[in-house]
Structure 1
Amino acid sequence: MALEDTRLPVTLLTGFLGAGKTTLLKHLISDPQAGRVVVIMNEFGDVALDHDLIEEATEETVLLPSGCLCCAILGDLATTLGTLEAKRAAGDLHFDRVIIETSGIADPGPIIHTLAADRQIAQTFRLDGVVTLADAATGIKTLDQQPEAVLQVAMDDVLILSKTDLVDDFDLIRFEKRLAGINTTARRIRSSHAELPRGALFGLSAMRLGVTHAEIDAWLGDMPDAIQHEPLAGLSGLKATVSAPLAFNAMPSVAQGRHDHRITSASIEVAEPIPATVFDFWLNTLIALRGPNVLRIKGILHVEGAAYPFVIHGVQHIFDAPVPLKNWSSPDTTSRVVVIARDMEEADLTASLNMLLSRPPKSAPGHDLASGMMVETLEMPF
């Protein structure tokens, strides 16, 4: 039986300027499922005003120095989390969850990186999910003008559309299609006044022991419609699926304001077990060549020879330790991998994922497969 993951969950709350994060934060900290909460706030401008708006809550609020959280020295975040944990261990603070509210113009990547890369922090805290709040009334303009907003959408787990009562159905659907083109896996929730069902924004990550297969499916999102490929040499019965082509080129012909045309997503399903050497070569080569371009990788893997599946998650070149599940929930043991990247051709990203369909050749006597033959057989498309 798997041990329980006792690390404290961290919810990263980000979103467009003026989208209503402070209002949403008030709902979050009053949600009974949140437990006892510590909030780390960092916002440009009227920090004191935002503090006044939430100090009515009984939870403790921690304010960092003014300035963008992810643009400031990341040691500030690590130090703050370390201090909170020290006070908790000493009995001076009691909390079950941390919510980090970022600036409206913050790239969430460096914050996620800190949570995963700082070993001391990672021993105590784990990322539970990225929640992005998008203003439906001004969202398209924000995506055109703020590249950070595009990154927020690309890296989130749940996307909340606020102020939906201020736009008509046509504009709302157009905005949702724009968002879906950036992130195919995020769950989208419409909200007029940042009001959400209880618990809707907690328990988002599949990177925890005891996670259910239903939670993994929700985390990975709906796979796009299957596109059948010609069988690769020596393969049969395998299928791959990729997202609908995005208008993404190395030199976009669209207006420079369309930052989301730099974002590409692709996904794949592999019906047969994946040899560990194939997956390791694919991942190591992708990260070595395009690590900074990879925004998120997540998936569930059926590794050849393993009796149970593994859940994987990474941001750029930083990966959480794979989480083993007790078993498969059904006879279907298909592996699913999703990649969201920037400044990569969609065809190249898909071709890269198709490497997971490959099978290494038989090793000749005395020849180490991992030391050379794999590299000779599988080549990255970029």
Structure 2
Amino acid sequence: MTQVPIPVSVLTGFLGAGKTTLLNRLLKDPALSDTAVIINEFGDVAIDHLLVERSSDGIIQLADGCLCCTVRGELVDTLADLVDQLQTGRISKLKRVIVETTGLADPAPVLQSIMGHPALVQAFRLDGVITLVDAVNGGTTLDDHLEAVRQVAVADRIVLTKTDLVDEPEALARLKARLEALNPSAPVIDVRTPEVGFAALFECGLYNPETKTADVRRWLGEEADHPRLHHGHQHDHHDHEHRHDSSVRTFSLVYDRPVPFSAIETFLDLLRLTHGDKLLRMKGIVEIAEDPSRPLVVHAVQRLLHPPASLPSWPDGVRGTRLVFITLDMPEDYVRRLFAAVTNTPAIDTPDRDAVQSNPLAIAGLS
């Protein structure tokens, strides 16, 4: 539908976290000119001071050249209408889309809408998920609402708001530690810091077609020395006393040899078929045996797999397979054993390794 896919960023966070306040601040940045904002929130949106014209179809022209589309139906229809307006000249330019979700939303369906539509996937690419957390009420919200836990777990960037209202530094430190344990790959940023702007929150996807650059390490949330990525053994995890936190886990899988495309396809299909509802998010890069010079990018949300795409070359010189999983009540050992089965490689603590390797369906419980 368009030659260069338009990046889409999802702005989420529980009720009262300050999404609209941050959005107003961000939209003043010239880097976000020609940006469409899709708001899926109950109640009034406090952007009246930016309005210069309101059209009858819900498209709002902002003073800085941005567009705001109030959701009147399904997200897919709204995105498709944006593309149609762009192609017919009703919108002269569209560089980016920001989707602000309702505070009560599980972000997974929004991500699926962006990633799963066969036509829209040609027009748009998911850039990243920005999750806001209220520093005053964040701990209680995470205790009481699983949606808030999911919002943090799938984030590429976590922004702490209202930190100036927290009287106890220890309480703020505990909340930060909890967020880092829930999602080790996402940086936690204080909204008051100068870093909260375009450079810190956007362009967190793997590949930017406009610049032809790819930053695998940043996309996967890896540290400089890959401390969380190891092959063949379990990772340490913190124990949590909180109600929901112990259900969410982030872990990584690394494999240092090329993988046949049929093997990775089988692995992803079986994983989504058996535990897709527990797969909050998965992203990674794979060295395919049939074409090892071009890394394959894979990205899934629950049972939906974004169409795999190949990069022109390895951007950081490190080949192999690196997969990051964010899961809800999914056994890590199951994932590792299933991958070992489809790649015909040893796995630790596999009860009947020979049987499993000869029949991957056995591990998936489908035989």
TM-score (norm 2): 0.82
Pair 246,381 (structure 1): closer, same or farther in 2 beyond 3 Å: farther
Matches of 1:242 and 1:212, distance apart in 2: 32
One-letter amino acid of the counterpart of residue 118, structure 1: H
Tell me how far apart the structure 1 counterparts of residues 132 and 323 of structure 2 sit (CA, whole Å).
26
CA–CA distance in 2 between the matches of 1:30 and 1:227? 38
In the alignment, what sits opposite 1:334?
A: 320
Q: Which residue of 2 aligns with 1:30?
A: 28
Residue 363 of structure 2: SS of its match in structure 1?
A: coil
Matched, 1:310 2:308: no
Q: Aligned-pair distance for 1:55?
A: 3.1
Is the 1:266–1:349 Cα contact (8 Å) retained in structure 2?
no
Q: What CA deviation, in whole Å up to 9, does each residue of 1:117-163 have, x standing for no partner?
A: 22222222221111111112211111001111111111111111112
Alignment of 1:347-358 (within 5 A): 347-355=333-341, 358=344
Which of 29, 40, 43 is the matching residue for 1:42? 40
Encode CA deviations 1:157-185: one digit per residue, 9 max, x unaligned.
11111122333432222112211222222
Which of 212, 236, 247 does residue 244 from structure 1 map onto? 236
SS of residue paired to 1:115? helix
Q: What is the RMSD computed on CA atoms of the aligned residues?
A: 2.9
Is 1:104 aligned to residue 76 of structure 2? no
Q: Distance in 1 between matches of 2:254 and 2:356?
A: 25
Q: 2:48 aligns with which of 44, 49, 52?
A: 52
SS in 2 for 1:200: helix
- TM-score, length basis structure 1: 0.79
Amino acid corresponding to residue 91 of structure 1 in structure 2: G
Q: Work out the CA distance in 2 between the residues paired with 1:53 and 1:194.
A: 23
Q: How does 1:147-166 map to 2 (within 5 A)?
A: 147-166=146-165
Instruction: Name the residue aligned to 1:289.
Output: 274
Partner of 2:90: 92
Match among 71, 91, 94 for residue 64 of structure 1: 71
1:376 aligns with 2:365: no
Q: Does structure 2 conserve the Cα–Cα contact (< 8 Å) formed by 1:117 and 1:318?
A: yes
- Structure 2 gap ranges (5+): 53-61, 347-354
1:319 matched to 2:305? The reply is yes
Looking at structure 2, the residues matched to 172 and 211 of structure 1 have their Cα atoms a distance apart, in angstroms, of: 39
1:178 aligned partner: 178
Number of positions where the alignment pairs a residue of Structure 1 with one of Structure 2: 339
- TM-fit CA distance, 1:327: 2.2
3-state SS, counterpart of residue 106 of structure 2: coil
When residues 241 and 50 of structure 1 are mapped into structure 2, their CA distance, relative to the original with a 3 A threshold, is farther
CA 1:203 to 1:195, structure 2 compared with 1: closer, same or farther past 3 Å? closer
Q: Which residue of 2 aligns with 1:8?
A: 6
Q: Where does structure 1 lack aligned partners over 5 or more consecutive residues?
A: 66-74, 229-238, 249-253, 361-371
Question: 1:298·1:337 contact (CA, 8 Å) conserved in 2?
Answer: yes
Cα shift at 1:195:
6.8
Question: Which residue is equivalent to 2:116?
Answer: 117
Q: 1:39: how far off?
A: 1.2
Instruction: Quote the residue 2:352 is aligned against.
Output: none
Name the aligned partner's letter for residue 259 of structure 1.
H
3-state SS of the aligned residue for 1:380? helix
User: Compared with structure 1, are the counterparts of its residues 51 and 26 closer, same or farther at alpha carbon in structure 2 (3 Å cutoff)?
Assistant: closer
Separation in 2, partners of 1:221, 1:163 = 25
Secondary structure at the counterpart of residue 180 of structure 1? helix
Aligned to 1:262: 247
Report the CA distance shift for 1:243/1:154 in structure 2 as closer, same or farther (over 3 A): farther
CA distance in 2, matches of 1:201, 1:227: 24
Q: How far apart, CA to CA, are the structure 1 residues paired with 2:303 and 2:208?
A: 20
Which residue identity does 1:178 align to in structure 2? R
Deviation at 1:378, TM superposition (A): 7.1
Deviation, 1:374, is: 6.1
Match among 58, 73, 76 for residue 74 of structure 2:
76
Partner AA of 1:263 in structure 2: V
Deviation at 1:226, TM superposition (A): 5.8
Distance 1:164 1:36 in 2: 31
**Identical aligned pairs, as a percentage?**
34
